[in-house]
Structure 1
Amino acid sequence: MSFSRRSLLACTGFLLGAFALGTPALAEDAFVAVTAIVEHPALDAARDGVRDELKAAGYEEGKNLKFIYESAQGNPGTAVQIAQKFVGESPSVIVPISTPSAQAVISATTDIPVVFTAVTDPLGAKLITNLEKPSGNVTGMSDLSPIGKQIDLIHEIVPGAKKIGVPFNPGEANAVTLVGLVKEKAAAMGMEVVEAPAPKSSDVQAAAQSLVGKVDVIYVPTDNTIVSALEAVIGVGVDNKLPVFAGDTDSVKRGAIAAIGFDYYDVGRQTGKIVARILKGEKPGDIAVQGIEITQLFVNPGAAEKMGVKLPEALVAGAKEVVK
């Protein structure tokens, strides 16, 4: 037996032994890095949905998946730092949750696959140039709110409302897009929008307070800055009998009176399916950006009563969830 043949057999024996012991091949391991601009229930639910969907697809933490998560705590500068850190760690896929985090990650890499989620307007935010064929290393999901349905909901519950107050962060591209859509839909119904800018979470209470006496209802869009400080808006609504509506259903559990929106855990599960496809070999640029078609109605009769509103019985009966 020659030396080279003995070496080959020895290596073969080692590899067979490793597989017999259940040692996973390195190529089968996956590393998914997730980041969000801020922590609040909707974005947290999206993160959890991604993790659970990956497990369902056969990628499980502690076995063949490394899964890490970091929040920028509402700071765009921190979002950039997290993006750069993730790129340095060379994960299999990066999943930025929210528009600011997606902008930071996509600016940091043109090589690592990126699957954004909870992004309102990926074209307007310049994340991609084509929804059907994103090309390059990027794809993801849009959570554009069903603004028309939400304005109809406001009109159904508060039929006399003529002015809608909208607190928002003018620094979030998604929020600017949403305010524009709210104005368009409200105008079609003879309603006016009053803006209340809040660049930081600490500005949210003052922004909401500035609307008192000027509007008939407050509408909180899926703006991460405002949603992260939602309790401040709810407090203003309760103290001044000013109904507060929301763009996401998780905010109804926190005290908004009603919302037609998405279950962000389901959004995360749908995102996780895209991530799994990439882990199995598909190129992100060949996967069309997906939207969310199923909407749900959540209502909170107790919160409505505190804000001086009684929800129609038929509306409550048809809700997906009635928050007690």
Structure 2
Amino acid sequence: MKKNKSIYLFGALLVLVVIGALFFNQSGDKNKETNATNTASTQTETVKIGVLQLLSHPALDAIYKGLQDELKNEGYEVGKNLEIDLQNAQGDQSNLASMSEKLVSGGNNILVGITTPATLALANNTKETPIIMGGITYPVEAGLIASESKPGNNITGVSDRTPIKQQLE
């Protein structure tokens, strides 16, 4: 039960990051008239999210499901104002490069990398499209971000690193 709560909390945090990135992406576009009062229910433009997942695994699938559930809770619905393109490499890392190229060139507003290899593949293909990472333990050490407090590039998200010292106390 505690594991399910953690997964949904992670999903909720991921969605908040997605929504923040959507707002940032739209507010930075000078050709669109958007403002902070735009919500999913009043938004007429379809948001496109590309998701790259290394493999199917209950914990990783839960990240994707949490993303979908929380986007729906925020008023984003596939077929109405949301498109999600999920690419799953099924454990074959050699597929990640071509799948990430497809997602980057597919006009997605936001990209989501589930696992370190998937996020690295996305990062290697774009320095402009916002990338949200999930299922990553050491994002700084993997070279994805400069620091956890100031990522310093187009990548943000949450780490699944467990605070061992605090758990032992």
TM-score of the aligned structures, taking structure 1 as reference length: 0.37
Contact 1:95 1:115 in 2 (8 A): yes
Q: Which string of whole-angstrom CA distances, capped at 9 and with x for unpartnered residues, describes residues 255-282 of structure 1? A: xxxxxxxxxxxxxxxxxxxxxxxxxxxx
1:100 and 2:117 matched: yes
SS at match of 1:139: strand
Percent of residue pairs bearing the same amino acid type: 36
Change (3 A) 1:60 1:74: same
**Partners of 2:89 and 2:57 in 1: how far apart?**
12
1:56 and 2:73 matched: yes
**Partners of 2:167 and 2:116 in 1: how far apart?**
21
**Partners of 1:147 and 1:55 in 2: how far apart?**
33
SS at match of 2:139: coil
Offset of 1:135 from its aligned partner? 2.7
Give 5+ residue unaligned stretches, structure 1.
1-23, 153-324
Pick the aligned partner of 2:129 from 112, 133, 136.
Answer: 112
Structure 2 residue aligned with 1:77: 94
Pick the aligned partner of 2:50 from 17, 22, 33.
Answer: 33
Structure 2 residue aligned with 1:134: 151
Contact 1:102 1:116 in 2 (8 A): yes
Change (3 A) 1:133 1:146: closer
**Partners of 1:140 and 1:100 in 2: how far apart?**
15
Listed as ranges, the matches of 1:201-280 within 5 Å are none
**Partners of 1:75 and 1:128 in 2: how far apart?**
24
Structure number with greater Rg is 1
**Partners of 2:44 and 2:79 in 1: how far apart?**
16
TM-score of the aligned structures, taking structure 2 as reference length: 0.69
SS at match of 2:143: coil
User: Relative contact order (alpha carbons < 8 A, sep ≥ 6): 1 or 2 greater?
Assistant: 2
Offset of 1:77 from its aligned partner? 1.5
Change (3 A) 1:114 1:27: farther
**Partners of 2:73 and 2:167 in 1: how far apart?**
33
Listed as ranges, the matches of 1:186-197 within 5 Å are none
Give 5+ residue unaligned stretches, structure 2.
1-40
Pick the aligned partner of 2:61 from 20, 27, 44.
Answer: 44
**What is the CA RMSD across the aligned residues, in angstroms?**
2.3
SS at match of 1:34: strand
User: Size of the alignment, in residue pairs?
Assistant: 129
Q: Which string of whole-angstrom CA distances, capped at 9 and with x for unpartnered residues, describes residues 97-147 of structure 1? A: 011101111111011110011100000000010211213211011001344
Runs (4+) off by over 4 Å: 24-27, 146-152
Contact 2:49 2:110 in 1 (8 A): yes
Offset of 1:34 from its aligned partner? 0.9
Contact 1:90 1:112 in 2 (8 A): no
Offset of 1:148 from its aligned partner? 5.5
**Partners of 2:74 and 2:126 in 1: how far apart?**
26
Structure 1 residue aligned with 2:18: none
